[in-house]
A = this chain, B = another copy of it.
Amino acid sequence: MKIKAGIIGATGYAGAELVRILLTHPEAEIAAISSVSFEGKKLSEVYPSYKSLCDLECGNQDEVVEKSDVIFAALPHGLSQELAAQCDKAGKKFIDLGADFRLESEEEYKEWYGCEFLDHELHKRSVYGLPELFREQIKGKSIIANPGCYTTGAPLALAPAIAEGLVSTEGIIVDSKSGVTGAGRKPNQGNHYPELNEGFHAYKVANHRHTPEIEQTLSKLACKSVKITFVPHLLPVNRGILSTCYARLNEGVTMEQLRAAYERFYENEYFIRLLPDGANADIHNIKYSNFCDISLHVDRRTGTFVAISAIDNMVKGAAGQAIQNMNLIFGLDETTGLTIVPPAF
């Protein structure tokens, strides 16, 4: 029997990407989808690329919960908490692609999102779904906070260096560049083709909501509080996030030590591809796949470590990772349905 997967918010980009991947997942099937904006419409009317492949009609949230074993929610922040409770009561697994369960500190959630935790017990039972770093905690859980897009690539780039104490946790800088789909499907002036095309700029400099989430992950790895400077930029491409991460090397640390640490740390990770010396991580090489490519660099002249990661913001940064979490909590091989080959061009 296949896992019955439901998608709430299926017509947003993350929802559409969940559909793309689930359609070829050998152990799961899409049981129901919902959309507030397109209720009653076929998904293939919203996304003609899915014609004849997913002609399911968008229903409502309750139908999805009822028909599914696992519910993926791609909702604006603030709306997932009640839904999580509803799923929990119905004995369903809940994987949240929104932000409601990502931050463990209610204070930080209030500060950055302006909302409160509705049910503290539920939050305690939820887990942050970044499998490469927190696999053991995820297994067997039923409420998963799927990380945000920026918050997957940057921590994966830095994790081994921080976990093994090879770099200073002071003064870390994350300079990220994201494709446009990260801003969602709703048209606005900033994403209007002629104003974005041939352009490039930073946004929300040092005040993007993914900052505390990256810090939470790095702090766990460092076993102490880590603060970073995070500057996201908008790339004129559809997909991909490249995160260029800077950290000061601790005294005497060599490139060989760094590389050895990364190789050890990611030894058994299918989705992490550690690039050889001289190579540069490129979003071109991971598009449409769940891979995270990482390249390592050292600036000997200034004692700076530069780790660069490339992920597809919609796959490893959203839908793919969510399905990786699904595989994990249902006891499947973690790569099931996710062995997508990133096209060469």
Residues of A within 8 A of B (CB): 13, 16-17, 19-20, 23-24, 47-53, 171, 173, 175, 177, 179-181, 185, 187-189, 191-203, 205-206, 211, 227-229, 231, 233, 235-240, 242, 244, 246, 248, 273, 275, 279-289, 293, 295, 297-302, 304, 306, 308, 310, 314, 339-345
Contact = CB atoms under 8 A, between A and B. Distances in A.
B238 A237 contact: no
Given A13-B345, A280-B201, A299-B229, A304 B173 contact: yes
Given A193-B197, A288-B288, A344 B279 contact: no
Nearest to A288: B343
Number of copies: 4
A17 B345 CA distance: 9
Nearest to A215: B301
B344 A47 contact: yes
A20 B287 CA distance: 13
A312 to B, nearest CB: 10
Contacts of A197: 180, 193, 197, 236-238
User: Among the interface residues A49, A191, A341, which one has the most CB atoms of the partner chain B within 10 A?
Assistant: A49
Given A175-B175, A198-B239, A202-B297, 11 more contacts: A20-B341, A48-B293, A171-B304, A177-B177, A180-B194, A181-B194, A187-B191, A191-B192, A206-B297, A206-B299, A233-B242
